[in-house]
Amino acid sequence: MTEPKVVNITRHIYEEQRKYPLATGGFSGLLSDLMLACKMISREVNKAGLIDILGKTGEVNVQGEEVAKLDTYAHNRIHQAMDHGGHLCVMASEEVADPIPIPKEFSKGRYVLLFDPLDGSSNIDSNVGIGTIFSIHRKVSDAGPDGTMQDLLQTGTRQVCAGYVFYGASTVFVYTTGQGTAAFTLDPSVGEFLLSSPHIQIPRRGRIYSVNEGNAASWDDATKRYIEHIKQFDPETNRPYTLRYVGSLVADIHRTLLYGGIFLYPPDRKSPKGKLRLLYEAAPMAFLVEQAGGFASNGTRRIMEVEPSELHQRTPLIIGSPDDVRDYEAYALGRR
Ligand code: AHM
Ligand code: MG
């Protein structure tokens, strides 16, 4: 019997690039720097439950360093892994208000990285899955080697890569460079992400909806009517849908990619523009889900085409199986 082929991320990128010569070796270097940081975050997330035993936030560890909160730790790990590799010209993090320049002493590259270091951080203490989300663009400004706001504020359609790492029962990395969406699972015994699904394909229609229904009283009328619709009894159209909501975007999107259905974070009174961030959350997830055959909308427009005007811009996000998201849009556009 022959052994199954084992494909790690480097080999996957190499094989993809032979088929579609999109990027150079620099790109796989960028991704492996990022994955090293994510493996370290994964290790810390796994230890989080031991925090009472090993020491609390604010305490000083054996090296005399402050023990950082997990989301600060995740931000610092990625920042430190990515600022000197020579691949990036600028970064931005959901945790930091302003763009993060590449220090003068390091050479600058032609890529731009936006990341949410630890999304769903309210779930950390309860051992629920959380994740890192990222989005990569090419540098478009030509004033000099440093990246600018113009490089950071690009529409989703211009992403060259997007992905997330899901720290769940196992650690899973899902990414796209525009040639489909592939998933890898971290084998902790060898410290490598190994290919587990070469082409994730989301069902055209699902039967799961995912939304914080606690906000229902302050949704707009279209959202209320759509959610009422999918809860009606009609076995021929597989209704009512069933509800699953983790409250960690990465966990909710991961399930949606695998099983289909719809995830919604619509506007409400507390968050009139939606809660999620366009550049760190919505656009990368939209790219991943579209590459798996799904669709992402802000209610009336394709997320991938929304032009950002600020780094931390928020947006409504309706994402998942294409037929389900189009149904929601029909309500939002007043067609149903
Ligand atoms: P965060 O970036 O502060 O962690 O917030 C984003 C998270 C998402 O992971 C999740 O989809 C959403 O917030 C849940 O919000 P809510 O608790 O309002 O349902
Ligand atoms: Mg977030």
Same domain assignment for residues 182 and 281: no
The environment of the single-atom ion ligand 2, i.e. residues with CB closer than 5 A, is 116, 119
Provide residues with CB under 6 Å of ligand 1.
Answer: 94, 116, 119-121, 212, 247-249, 252, 275
Domain housing 325? 208-332
Same domain assignment for residues 54 and 186: yes
> Which residue puts its alpha carbon closest to atom 12 of ligand 1?
247
Same domain assignment for residues 226 and 173: no
Same domain assignment for residues 161 and 254: no
Q: Single out the residue in 140, 169, 197 at which a domain terminates.
A: 197
Lowest mean pLDDT among 56-60, 111-115, 136-140, 235-239: 56-60
| pTM for the whole structure | 0.94
Q: What is the pLDDT of residue 106?
A: 93
Same domain assignment for residues 244 and 192: no
Q: How far is the CA of 254 from the centre of ligand 2 (A)?
A: 15
Same domain assignment for residues 21 and 106: yes
Summarised one tens digit per residue, pLDDT across range 273-320 is 999 999 999 999 999 999 999 999 999 999 999 999 999 999 999 999
Same domain assignment for residues 91 and 171: yes
Domain harbouring 70, CATH code: 3.30.540.10
Q: How far is the CA of 266 from the centre of ligand 2 (A)?
A: 15
> Which residue puts its alpha carbon closest to atom 4 of ligand 1?
120
More confident residue, 186 or 19: 186
202 within a domain of the structure (yes/no): no
Instruction: Please give the tally of structural domains in the chain.
Output: 2
The two three-digit tokens of residue 279, written as one number? 């550049």
Quick check: 66 pLDDT over 70?
no
Lowest mean pLDDT among 24-38, 48-62, 197-211: 48-62
Same domain assignment for residues 30 and 178: yes
Please tell me the distance from the alpha carbon of residue 134 to that of residue 210, in angstroms, as a whole number.
22
Summarised one tens digit per residue, pLDDT across range 149-173 is 999 999 999 999 999 999 999 999 9
Domain harbouring 315, CATH code: 3.40.190.80
Mean pLDDT to the nearest integer, 57-66: 48
Q: What is the pLDDT of residue 22?
A: 57
Name the CA dihedral angle for 118, 69, 39, 284, rounded to a multiple of 10 degrees.
10
Please tell me the distance from the alpha carbon of residue 186 to that of residue 193, in angstroms, as a whole number.
4
**HEC per residue, the chain:** CCCCCCCEHHHHHHHHHHHCCCCCHHHHHHHHHHHHHHHHHHHHHHHHHHHHHHCCCCCECCCCCECCCHHHHHHHHHHHHHCCCCCEEEEEECCCCCCEECCCCCCCCCEEEEEEEEECHHHHHHCCCEEEEEEEEECCCCCCCCCCHHHHCCCHHHCCEEEEEEECCCEEEEEECCCCEEEEEEECCCCEEEEEECCCCCCCCCCEEECCHHHHHHCCHHHHHHHHHHHCCEHHHCECCEECCCCCHHHHHHHHHHHCCEEEECCCCCCCCCCEEHHHHHHHHHHHHHHCCCEEECCCCEHHHCCCCCCCCEECEEEECHHHHHHHHHHHCCCC
Same domain assignment for residues 57 and 151: yes
Lowest mean pLDDT among 120-134, 146-160, 189-203, 244-258: 120-134
Q: What is the pLDDT of residue 64?
A: 47
Mean pLDDT to the nearest integer, 53-72: 57
> Which residue puts its alpha carbon closest to atom 7 of ligand 1?
120
Same domain assignment for residues 85 and 131: yes
Same domain assignment for residues 174 and 242: no
262 within a domain of the structure (yes/no): yes
Query: What ligand has the least distance to the C-alpha of 249?
Result: 1
Please tell me the distance from the alpha carbon of residue 40 to that of residue 166, in angstroms, as a whole number.
13
4 within a domain of the structure (yes/no): no
Ligand 1, from 70, 94, 122: best to mutate by most atoms within 8 Å of Cβ? 122
Q: What is the pLDDT of residue 189?
A: 92
Same domain assignment for residues 193 and 263: no
Q: How far is the CA of 119 from the centre of ligand 2 (A)?
A: 4
Ligand 1, from 72, 119, 252, 314: best to mutate by most atoms within 8 Å of Cβ? 119
Q: How far is the CA of 249 from the centre of ligand 1 (A)?
A: 6
